Structure 1
Amino acid sequence: MGKNQIKIFDTTLRDGEQVPGCKLNCVEKVQIAKQLELLGVDIIEAGFPASSPGDYQSVQEICKSVYNPIICALSRAIKKDIEIAANSLKFAKQARIHTGIGTSDCHIRYKFNSTKDKILEIAASSVKYAKKFVEDIEFYAEDAGRTNNEFLALVCEEVIKNGATVINIPDTTGNCLPYEYGNKIKFLQENVNKIHTVTLSTHCHNDLGLATANSLYGILNGAKQVECTINGIGERAGNTSLEEITMIIKQYKNLNVYTNINTKLICYTSDLVSKYTGMKVQANKAIVGKNAFSHSSGIHQDGIIKKRETYEIINPEDVGIDDSSIILTARSGRSALAYRYKKLGYSFTKNTLDIIYSVFLDYADKNKQVEDQELKCLLKKAQLKNNQLAILHHS
């Protein structure tokens, strides 16, 4: 049995840009879109064209500049929005309109002051209208995470009847537990007529830190597309992180799924998005944080030096990093100190290393981190303490 492809739908330029303080200009959006194409994403959600002239222009320019991915434009379930989205996509080699409406009791009552019957009618008619412009129509059932499964199934059946090709099941508020979200996808797979004629998509938010886990459970229960962002940026606490979900898929071969992502470009793409958006990546962020492949504890450093897999399940080269980092602090041991000196071209006898290590510890206790230049200075201090110090320099 062959592996199933999981399509990667990147919404960095739409949902990701909705972060307060994150505003990209048209040139920056095109540059990011080109990098997403190199990265291997299948669908780029380029923006929400009806929201502003700038977003409309950006979608158009991305359509002109990107060739392989499907270019997707968001719209509300409003005819004018759909028309604007369609016009913005006129230069796309492959175009998709992403339209939809809220389906939870909360959204129906308080956001729309409407009824379930009316929502069903709007959902169906919006897909039918969008179908007049492009063949590929994705429907989003906003707040599906809090939507009753039976009603959600009815919505799915209606949009399938009217030509939807993809159905997005968003956990808009990050409310679901992984098993709940997985069961929701499973319920739809088992209870919606002709569900297997469309692609089910996950779109999970990280309000409780469960976005990636929920997306994974969606995949395990039949979803074939994941909506995500670089560095996990997005509304409030963010979205499913592209680098996390793709590396989970890469690591766990027994999931029997794959993506087209060139993971060796992940860290470069992360840095590019961080630079343009001004959104710094937290140091302990999985995969792309600066500490993700860094080690400062002596026990860990010794293990990594002997065999990387003792403390790393991912090869840093797989995400575009040359090597793991051995960070020297007061918690570092002799093996880490010798390793770093060897990188600088020095080697020592055991007795010599003991003397240097005592000097190093005294210095490291007063400083957070010891850099290469400081290591060279410490050698001079150690030599002053012991004139007989045997230091071999081999570079």
Structure 2
Amino acid sequence: MKNYEKYARGYFMPPQSSLNWTRKEYITEAPIWCSVDLRDGNQALIVPMNLEEKLEYFKLLVEIGFKEIEVGFPAASDTEFTFLRTLIEQNLIPDDVTIQVLTQSREHIIRKTFESLQGAKKAVVHLYNSTSVAQREQVFRKSKAEIIDIAVTGAKLLKQCAAETEGNFQFQYSPESFTGTEVDFALDICNAVLDVWQPTANNPVIINLPATVSMSMPHIYASQIEYMSEHMNFREHVILSLHPHNDRGTGVADAELGMLAGAQRVEGTLFGNGERTGNVDIVTLALNMYSHGVDPKLNFENVPGIMAVYERLTKMKVSERHPYAGELVFTAFSGSHQDAIAKGMKWRDVKEAQRWSVPYLPIDPKDIGREYEGDIIRINSQSGKGGIGYILQQKYGLDLPPKMREHFGYCVKNVSDRLQKELMPGEIHDIFVKEYVNIGTPLEFVKYRSDGDNDFQTVVTVRTGSGTQELAGTGNGRLDAISNALQTHLGLEYTDLVYTEHALETGSKSQAVSYIGITSPNGSVYWGCGMDADIMTSSVKALFSALNNMSR
């Protein structure tokens, strides 16, 4: 590919090795979550949300369980300012939820920000300025010392305005574009801000280290975070926070490794909405923890409902392949996958298993509001007998014999292949009924009777194109006697009659369903299914269905 030579690695390794995070196996507890949907996410929308939409979205975030929510950049526009004032004046912020606001390190913006916060019970004031080499050289054209002065001046003004404003304020600082900043310089500027704020156990400070633009592989980001964590002033009174973007498609990995490296807090958005490729996706990140048996401290028990509100308010679409949330992420079309899932689900029922370990399903779809029916197995020309059988059993109570499932599987795949489309459960059931159930031509079953109490002698009445006739037969039971009568009087030839049956609940009526397979003289196997309120009658209908399939 042309022009690759013009790209250089724009990130910086820590001054010394920082690899202790590599010894940790997994994240053992949820971080402090901060949603930035209403600020970072909202500013990335083609059409930002209006006041009513932002209020509804805020309510959604509270219901999910976020305790920290960045509500906007109140000095940036009247809409942002009005939204924050509405939250405060209408008392819409629960006592256990802290709002967060963003401000550049500029005096008039900082003062406007505190004006918007009058009367807030508790708020995080998030101060930032850009620190990367590219920003210093190309945008601000300032030295390192001048960039530090911008941050320190802003930090002092935050402290002054907080003392002059009614409310309970916590401070946060971000060296914006941290990932393009020399790590030792990022440490210097954060420590300079911390020296101004002097955090304590009762008044901790948040230092947020954003992957404003993702530049490195995740292990580099983790090493940067660990170095900062180990060398930061007042570390025991600092809440170390992450704000990963997804430019390299590694936002979730950056956050996960960053937490292993010492971060205690994560800023992100639902479904990863945000500038360019988006922010870190909190739904994915939280449910990754959940899949390891860790409580994420957020309620995603109704992901479809959350997704519906998100899509309506943001006008964004969640991809069908989006982790956990996407329409198809729990769905198997492949025959081998379907077979493994069906067997795994059956194994769970038989074993009454408490731990989740179903093949191809990292979590139980029901735990996040998804349904098995129509979600985990869907049928097309790539599907197999296991998945098709699973659909019939789960939705219609039909438990086909293994060999019949295989035969029916080819029928369904042929239809799907011919139509070039996915088949819905109702269509699959219709194919089954058409192919196997109570087939009455060319040989129609009318009735049967046994001579007295002797099942060994049975008379079956049949109707063909030439009329109705009664056929008598003997056997080791009524079905065997009827089978013998048909072979003797009608010249039908078949062997290896295979028979199974079970009860079938359909609404308020209980029916019996029977399955019969027969082998023709040339070795082909034909199947039939009978359904009737009487188990014996269902068996006879299944035999007639199989014979008619052989005749056809």
Q: Does 2:133 align with 1:105?
A: yes
More displaced 10-residue stretch of structure 1: 213-222 or 21-30:
21-30
Letter aligned with residue 435 of structure 2: A
1:301 to 334, 338, 341: 338
Letter aligned with residue 79 of structure 1: E
Q: Does 2:278 align with 1:226?
A: no
| Separation (CA, whole Å) in 2 of partners of 1:280 and 1:316 | 20
Kindly tell me: are residues 392 and 29 of structure 1, through their superposed partners in 2, closer, same or farther at Cα, counting changes over 3 Å?
Answer: farther
Give the alignment of 1:166-245 within 5 angstroms.
Answer: 166-245=206-285
Deviations 1:45-92 (A, max 9, x none): 111112211111122233432213210111111122222222323343
Kindly tell me: are residues 291 and 22 of structure 1, through their superposed partners in 2, closer, same or farther at Cα, counting changes over 3 Å?
Answer: farther
How does the TM-score come out when normalised to structure 2? 0.66
Offset at residue 290 of structure 1 (A): 0.9
1:285 to 305, 319, 322: 322
Give the alignment of 1:241-320 within 5 angstroms.
Answer: 241-252=281-292, 259-308=296-345, 309-320=358-369
Kindly tell me: are residues 106 and 341 of structure 1, through their superposed partners in 2, closer, same or farther at Cα, counting changes over 3 Å?
Answer: same
| Separation (CA, whole Å) in 2 of partners of 1:57 and 1:370 | 51
Larger Rg: 2
Q: Does 2:177 align with 1:140?
A: no
More displaced 10-residue stretch of structure 1: 369-378 or 223-232:
369-378
Letter aligned with residue 38 of structure 2: L
Deviations 1:1-53 (A, max 9, x none): xx655100111111111224142111111111111111111211111112211
Q: Is contact 1:75–1:81 with CA below 8 Å preserved after alignment?
A: yes
Offset at residue 355 of structure 1 (A): 5.0
Higher strand share: 2
Partner of 1:65: 92
2:391 to 340, 344, 355: 340
Q: Does 2:114 align with 1:80?
A: no
Q: Is contact 2:287–2:296 with CA below 8 Å preserved after alignment?
A: no
| Separation (CA, whole Å) in 2 of partners of 1:231 and 1:22 | 18
More displaced 10-residue stretch of structure 1: 189-198 or 72-81:
189-198
Offset at residue 281 of structure 1 (A): 0.7
Kindly tell me: are residues 81 and 145 of structure 1, through their superposed partners in 2, closer, same or farther at Cα, counting changes over 3 Å?
Answer: same
| Separation (CA, whole Å) in 2 of partners of 1:223 and 1:359 | 55
| Separation (CA, whole Å) in 2 of partners of 1:194 and 1:35 | 35
Q: Is contact 1:60–1:88 with CA below 8 Å preserved after alignment?
A: yes
Q: Is contact 2:103–2:125 with CA below 8 Å preserved after alignment?
A: yes
Kindly tell me: are residues 179 and 20 of structure 1, through their superposed partners in 2, closer, same or farther at Cα, counting changes over 3 Å?
Answer: same
| Separation (CA, whole Å) in 2 of partners of 1:39 and 1:239 | 18
Q: Which runs of 4+ in 1 moved over 6 A?
A: none
Q: Work out the percentage of aligned pairs sharing the same amino acid.
A: 26
More displaced 10-residue stretch of structure 1: 258-267 or 225-234:
258-267
Kindly tell me: are residues 96 and 219 of structure 1, through their superposed partners in 2, closer, same or farther at Cα, counting changes over 3 Å?
Answer: same
Partner of 2:501: none
Q: Is contact 1:22–1:279 with CA below 8 Å preserved after alignment?
A: no
Q: Is contact 1:60–1:91 with CA below 8 Å preserved after alignment?
A: no
How does the TM-score come out when normalised to structure 1? 0.91
Higher helix share: 1
Offset at residue 340 of structure 1 (A): 1.2
More displaced 10-residue stretch of structure 1: 106-115 or 89-98:
89-98
Secondary structure of the 2:361 match is coil
Q: Is contact 1:346–1:393 with CA below 8 Å preserved after alignment?
A: no
